[in-house]
Each structure stands twice: as C-alpha cells, then as structure tokens.
Structure 1
C-alpha cells in the first residue's frame, strides 16, 4: 500500500475538515449584518419597505440572488405592484444590489464578534488536526473587510471562499465547499462536516456529500440578538428552537444543535460513525 493510501485510510476514520458559514454560525449572533442592510437597501434605493422577517427568508443565498428571492415573496411582490404599478425587474434588483454593497462593506466589520464559545471550539478542532474551512453568501469585497476584523478577534480559518469566487455560483450548489476541499487538500468529502445556520447552507453540504449540522439558536432562523439569547428563559428558547427546527426539518440535516458550543459532541459522534464505516 502506498503512503498516500495508508494516510487516506487512516483519515477516513476521522473527521478531516469542518467547513463553517460565517454570519450566524461563527460571528454575528443572530445574523443581523446582512438582514438589516437588505432592509436599508430597499428603503434607500426605492423608498420601499420590507420587514426583518421577509429579509431573513432566503438567507444563505448569494446577495444578488437573495434580493431577487425577497422580491419574489408574494407579500413583497404585491406591495411592489401596488406602489409602482409593475413587477420588479432585473434592473431594479441590480440597483438595489448596488445600493446594498457599499452599505454592507461599511457595516460588516461591526458584526464580527465571535459567537460565544466559537473560538474555543475552532481552536480545539485545530488541535485535533481538523482543517477549518469556511464559505459565505457574502461576495469577496465584503469578505475582504470581514476577514481581517475577525482575525483581530481570534478567528482565522484555513480557507475562505466567497459566493462570487467561482463562476458556477453559490448555494445551494456545492461548489464553495468543494473549493474548500480542494484548497485544503482534504481527501474525502465524506469526512467533512458543513455547519450552517441557513437552509441553503445545509443543502450545500448535502449536495457535496458531507455531514451537515444546522444551528437552531445562534443564526438566521431564530433571529435572536445575543442579549436576547442570554436573557431568555427556557420557554422563550424552546419557542425559538422549535421555530428554527420547523424550518430545518424538511431538509434533513444530520444534526440540529443550538449553537457552535454544542459542536464538539457532534464531531465525536461523527468520528465514531466514520470508524464504524458509516457515510453521510
């Protein structure tokens, strides 16, 4: 057996890489940086109002696609028709996106605080030899602002892929996570875990043949601020958890956990499943 084959056979029994989303997963508890800017962009460009709940619906998509998806929500489309007497056009979406981008670039660094326990979990994985990948619905110009601020706060992944880095497009297609696999020289997608707070991110992981972990309370689906989360009683957390679970359940994530703080137990369980010969 070659040295590569021997090395590969050993690694197949263990998690090789965890690939994280950014907002709502590692940084920006509640995923507020993108959602609040979507609201501001619609308002600034066309004096058109969308709600925070509407802005959250397509979270995880690339940002141009996200704006398009919001505009196609029945309630949003009806209000647009009533206000402007026509359906929203590609030109309108382009204009909102062009307004969105400088706002997002200016504000993203303000939402770079790590989610509680994220750095401990990431550093623990690194100590085990697990490679830390990442990808985002943010385009590269936004990531170039976020990456150094996150690094100053202690988060430095081994790989970062933005939604516009690849011509084939972003989520739910698997290209961003597969780019992580290539760049980090991971030998088996079945030994990778995709962690995300959005449904398109879970679909992305499935489409790449990876284990998938959905986050119920730290991200987009619960929509809690960190202060709300820390102050919440168990009844409030249960309600938020079940709301998020209802959104994730049809998409069959392998695991659903509250926040990244719960990930080490999941990694240990997947290690045991891999050792027993299981695949995602």
Structure 2
C-alpha cells in the first residue's frame, strides 16, 4: 500500500459494527429510569448516545422534562449519588442483554475482511466499559468480527467527544500521521471524537442510533418517511463536521477510495 493512503479505520461498536439500531443500551437506560417511576422516551435515552455511560446518565438527568419529573418524584435535585446508583442498575440490566445484541450488522464482516486485504488496520472505540465490551467482542468474534484494537473510555482521561480513545488506538496500531486514519460511527459524538483527533470522519445511517430503527422497521417503513428520517440524521452528522455520510457500513469501501485520492492529491501538492 502506498504511504499516501489510508492505513487504519477506527469503528464504533453498537449501532456501527454490531447491534443494528443500537438497542441494548437504550433498553437498559429506559428500564433503569422506569423502575424509579420515571418514564423516559427512547429519543431521550438516545440523545447522549456514544458518550461514557456515567456522563450519559448525567445528561439524561439534566434534561428539563426528566429533571422536573425527578424533583417531583423524590423532592430533591439529582446528585452524584443518584447518578452512580442509576449506573449500577443500568450496568446490571445491560449485562443481561448484551449477548443478544452483539451480532455484526450486515456487511460489516465482509467490509473488514476487504479492508484487511488492502493492508488497512482495524481499531475500535466504545463508551462501554472493558467488562461490557469484552462480552460483546467475544460474541462478535463468533460471527467473524474481531478488530485489532479495542479502547474504552475508562482507559483514557475522558471519553467522547474527547479524542483520547482515537489517539490511544493510533498508538496501539502504530499508525501516523492521523490524517491516514478514518473514524466511523453512528452518533454525533463519534464524529466529534474523530474531528478532535485530526482524522477523517464518516457517519453511518442505517443501523445507527441516530436513525434508531431495526432492520425490519427499515424494511417496512414508507420509503418517503425513511428518506426524510435519514436526511435529518445526515444533516446532524454534516452539521457536526463529518467528512462523509454513508447509508450503510458496506458503503465505506468507496469512501476509502475517495479519501485515498484526496491524500494522494494533498501529497502531490506539497511535493510539487
């Protein structure tokens, strides 16, 4: 592979390479609040998706509607003790369902195999803890998906949107400059993570938390409604600064080719 081409791709996990629609954490967040008598919507549960889970809970508690419901139910402001209590319940619920949400999304295994044949290394970052992602990774491996590196938000100074997981992945894979790396994800925080790391960024629509639909729901949805939903998600990615947005994970192959052309043009410009 020419030194002017992409050398590594960093993927998110749930909603990007596994767990089509990113349902495992959503279900766990909704149930965690429900047992306390507070009904949060799936949209509210998804809003901070991609962040470390403790921060995710803090943001949910800070939403006006939920904040008011909490005050009405408990007669006080939510504090850090509440955050950690919610997290403990969330963690327990998530562990119960993770194995059922570790199947790679359609096209992911084939894409990774194709990238590897081109000499491209495969990294991954996640808002899951090490214990969570080890469970998911073990199941995903049975289906044929195994990245070269996994970095969690607990193993760096802070999670998304900070760049540290991406930078640690670059060190693990021994790839530089970072302009030869591509960050791929299904949330705005994935895009911000890649931007702050100085990498190319790609947002994925189908299977993403941004779309929030299962494979069956996508197949059955009216095409015009689906297109409108995808367009809204695409705009969120682009407004966040994404370099590219793709319909589904398998489309990344063509994007890699486009990035390679840009890298070669950039190299030729500086040489010239």
Counterpart for residue 248 of structure 2:
259
Deviations 1:15-63 (A, max 9, x none): 000000000100111100111101111223x232211110000001000
Deviations 1:103-147 (A, max 9, x none): 112211100111111111111001100000001111111011111
Q: TM-score, normalised by structure 1?
A: 0.92
1:24 equivalenced with 2:15 (yes/no): yes
Q: Map of 1:122-271 to 2, 5 A cutoff?
A: 122-166=112-156, 168-271=157-260
Cα root mean square deviation, aligned: 1.5
Deviations 1:133-181 (A, max 9, x none): 0011111110111111000011010001112122x01100001011110
TM-fit CA distance, 1:87:
1.6
CA contact (8 A) 2:238 2:244 kept: no
> How many residues get paired?
268
The 3-state SS of whatever aligns with 2:266 is coil
Counterpart for residue 4 of structure 1:
none
Distance 1:15 1:232 in 2: 36
Deviates more, 1:73-82 or 1:220-229: 73-82
The answer for unaligned runs of 5 or more in structure 1 is 1-6
Q: Map of 1:49-68 to 2, 5 A cutoff?
A: 49-68=39-58
The 3-state SS of whatever aligns with 2:10 is strand
Structure 1 stretches of 4+ with a deviation exceeding 3 A read: none
The answer for unaligned runs of 5 or more in structure 2 is none
